[in-house]
Amino acid sequence: MNFSLLIGIWLGILQLPEAQLPFRFEFRNDDGHPVMIIYNADEKIVCDEISTKGDSLFIRLPLYDSEFRLKMGVGELKGNWINRGRRTPATIAFSATKDITGRFPLSGKGSSAPLAEGRWETWFDAGSPDSSLAIGLFRVKDQVVHGTFLTESGDHRFLEGVIDGDSLKLSVFDGAHAWLYLARVQGESMEGLYYSGNHYKGPFRAKRNDSISLRDPSGITRVEGPFDFRLPDPDSNLVSLTDVEYRNKVRLIQIMGSWCPNCMDETVFLDSVYRLRREEGLEVIGLAFERPENFSLAAENVRRMKKRLQVSYPVLIAGVAKKGEVEKVLPAVQGFFSYPTLMVIDRKGQVVKVHTGFSGPATGEAWVRYQAEFRKMLDRILR
């Protein structure tokens, strides 16, 4: 089948066990090369690793170890999304229809729920031992909802959906996250279910609360005692903080993984800061805790990530992304909570700040505020 017949807007559906997760995408011909562009609110993900064989279509996601394997028909696609980035690979049935522009169908009821700009105190898995606090941040225009949930480990990235009558429907698909939120809004509260791919479903409750806040991200993880490491880069060259090129420098140490979307958002930000300020004595080192236990596979993931994002600072292979591994590799780190975590080390070698999580571009004002506070902190330490 000729790829040119696919060019246009599509609605994709991931078939979860009890629900359908929709997202919008587009096929284009970019200077003779086929591309797929995935849309989540203000985010655009360009997938340019596309191949065809007969009526089969293969699309690899640009950053994460996942892909689509599809059969092409007239105005339709059917097949699977395969996510190998999980510890246990997941396969989810996928279908798509051409020339459908809306993410969720509308009933014609309009929007009767008072969902608008503001903050929502949200509890995921409410009432269970795993209950966790988040802050819902939403904006609405003509029933279309954009926003995110801000948590202590980072945000849920670019959510897009609708408010239809008293029903709130949101979804995001970025090649790693496949999240769906379905809730009923009543007055100043909402209640519903959220789905994470085909492996998890849980309840959530929320109420409007403009003063709700999370814990200080600088008080969650701490460093006690001397902090150092000696770890390999993807080419097996060992790197340490005691190496001569890092002496008397301000160092940002990023605990991350190439499988983690919030880490990728932080990586883009850190690289922009590094390029601007390395001449002032700033260094950045990424410590990647990867899903594969095999060094060669982990190194390939990091190389691919660095090439895709054009990362100019070194990223080392630190270990495997599993519970207790960070503390094992970095004994000075206490109470590690989540990826990403950023440590700021001054010119004297003292850890002066540890920041848990990352508030990325999807968080709006929180993202603007974070950038300003970060640059102000860096100004002070570099001086």
Mean pLDDT, to the nearest integer, of 218-222? 93
* Amino acid identity for residue 269 in this structure: F
Same domain, 276 and 378: yes
* Amino acid identity for residue 206 in this structure: A
Same domain, 376 and 289: yes
Same domain, 252 and 349: yes
- CA distances 82 to 27, 86, 116, 279, 303, Å, are 20, 10, 36, 43, 21
User: Which domain does 63 fall in, by range?
Assistant: 3-98
Reported as a pLDDT band with limits 50, 70 and 90, residue 42 is very high
pLDDT in tens, 244-276: 999 999 999 999 999 999 999 999 999 999 999
Same domain, 327 and 375: yes
- What is the C-alpha separation between 26 and 13, in angstroms, rounded? 14
Domain C-terminal end among 158, 183, 208: 208
**Residue 232: in which H helix or E strand, if any?**
strand 230-232
- What is the C-alpha separation between 270 and 251, in angstroms, rounded? 11
> How many independent structural domains does the chain possess?
3
- The residue among 4, 10, 18 whose CA lies nearest residue 68 is 10
- What is the C-alpha separation between 294 and 307, in angstroms, rounded? 20
- In a domain? residue 107: no
Same domain, 166 and 289: no
The mean pLDDT of the chain is 93
Reported as a pLDDT band with limits 50, 70 and 90, residue 114 is low
pLDDT in tens, 298-336: 999 999 999 999 999 999 999 999 999 999 999 999 999
pTM assigned to the model: 0.92
Residues in CB range of 311: below 8 A, 6 or more apart: 267, 271, 286, 305
- In a domain? residue 113: no
